[in-house]
Amino acid sequence: MPSVAVKLYSIIFKILLKHKLQLLHQAAIEGATSPFGITSRPDESAVPANPSFGPDGVATKDIHVDPLTSLSLRLFLPDSSLDRAPRDNGGAYGGYLPSVADARRRSAGPRKLPVVLQFHGGGFVSGSNTSAANDFFCRRVAKLLDVIVIAVGYRLAPESRYPAAFEDGLKVLYWLGKQANLADCIKSMGTAKGGGGGDIRKSQIADALGSSSVEPWLAAHGDPSRCVLLGVSCGANIADFVARKAVEAGKLAEPVKVVAQVLMYPFFTGSAPTRSEIKLANSYFYDKALCLLAWKLFLPEEEFSLDHPAANPAVSGWGPPLKCMLPTLTVVAEHDWMRDRAIAYSEELRKVNVDAPVLEYKDAVHEFATLDMLLRTPQALACADDIAIWVKKYISIRGHEFSY
């Protein structure tokens, strides 16, 4: 069972969350909405970005990517990105003769790191990509996986109801591809002029949407061909949607290639209750009643249904066939009322031969690895390590994979 401290904190958490949701519900009734949307609540503290590498070896910066909405990103860059791979000098590889591709990868230059798109939790109505808990979690992911993490600050409900958050997730995927193309254009222009290419931090190039800036961290260090989606709670619903759209797009999504996704205690539900939904309806932190209210705030009134495609993956209306889905790691907690539906989704993926393991943690609660007071617990640390081990199978450069 969870500790006494967790139980007490859960009681306080649910009281405060219920009050917040009731206020949001009243504001929605009164029509207090904004087409621009918001990505954070005034009562939720935010950690400022720091572009310098701190004690943990991770630098951060914030980007506002859409002039029409409040969609924003926080980038997490580990200091390992500054390492330079050694040149091929004959016997440096212990008798192993590198391939041409290996030799290119080992050229002396900035390291190219995989990219993780991270979607925070909060029931679509709260949470932030810049909160202390999310900042800490993303730093941990960046270091453990040796990746660039892009934490997505999608629009919150009820100011921006469905499909705003899902559209924001997909928009970031396309933005990542656009960044890769812009960086390639800048590089090509520099080569055509005889090298150099100028200061990429100041480079701009015109496309069909006008003048666009190249994001220097991604241009120098990002490898969008090794992209992973990581969703926390309701963020897992967004990640799964983006994964499906990426599969549907196929080569049209290039140079971005989503290779896997991680769904951490997804915010799935449905009209026909599962065993855990009955037994654990009054579970810790996010119980069934609070989640139902969050869904009412997120889904438009005319579309409200617990079997809406955004809520129930078993009746998803945005394809593709499950057999085409990406490798999917699902994390569930023993005391989470939504656990059974997440497990069932993984089972359906495995039936069609998709790599879809489930990591279940005993005595754990919803958001046990991402909630502020639980971030440093042994379970949270173990979960982060387990995720890193699985994800590295799909982001390691061929020929340099770990053994499993």
User: pLDDT, tens digit, for every residue of 331-386?
Assistant: 999 999 999 999 999 999 999 999 999 999 999 999 999 999 899 999 999 999 99
Mean pLDDT of 126-141: 96
Catalytic residues: 233, 336, 366
3-state SS assignment for residue 60: strand
With contact defined as beta carbons under 8 Å apart, do 330 and 358 qualify? yes
Q: Quick one: what percent of the chain has pLDDT higher than 90? A: 63
d(CA 48, CA 40): 13
List pLDDT tens digits, range 288-338.
999 999 999 999 989 899 999 999 998 877 778 899 999 999 999 999 999
SS (H, E, C) 246-261: HHHHHHHHCCCCEEEE
Stretch among 38-52, 186-200, 297-311, 361-375 having the lowest mean pLDDT: 186-200
Q: What's the pLDDT band for 157 if we cut at 50, 70, 90? A: very high
pLDDT at 317: 72
Q: What per-residue confidence (pLDDT) applies to 206?
A: 43
DSSP reduced 3-state for 54: coil
Q: Which amino acid is at 235?
A: G
The residues with which 148 forms a beta bridge, in sequence order, are 115
Give the per-residue pLDDT at 168: 96
Q: What is the pLDDT of residue 318?
A: 73
pLDDT band at 398 (very low <50, low <70, confident <90, very high): low
Q: Place 193 in a pLDDT band, splitting at 50, 70 and 90.
A: low
Q: How far is CA 187 from CA 82, 172, 179, 205, 220, in A?
A: 19, 22, 12, 11, 11
pTM above threshold 0.85: yes
DSSP state at residue 55: T
Do strands 58-64 and 148-153 pair parallel, antiparallel, or not at all (unpaired)?
Answer: unpaired
Confidence label for 190 from pLDDT (cuts 50, 70 and 90): low
- Of 241, 286, 10, the C-alpha closest to 126 is 286
State residue 314's pLDDT score.
87
Evaluate if residue 12 carries a pLDDT over 80: yes
Task: Report DSSP letters for 314-383, one per residue.
Answer: GG-SS---GGGPPPEEEEEETT-TTHHHHHHHHHHHHHTT----EEEETT--TTTTTSGGGTTSHHHHHH
pLDDT tops 70 at residue 268: yes
pLDDT value at residue 393: 94
Beta strands in 82-209 (DSSP E): 113-119, 148-153, 204-207
Residue 267 exposure: Cα atoms within 13 Å on the Cβ side: 31
Average pLDDT, the chain: 85
Averaged pLDDT, 135-151? 97
Q: Which residue has the higher pLDDT, 319 or 109?
A: 319
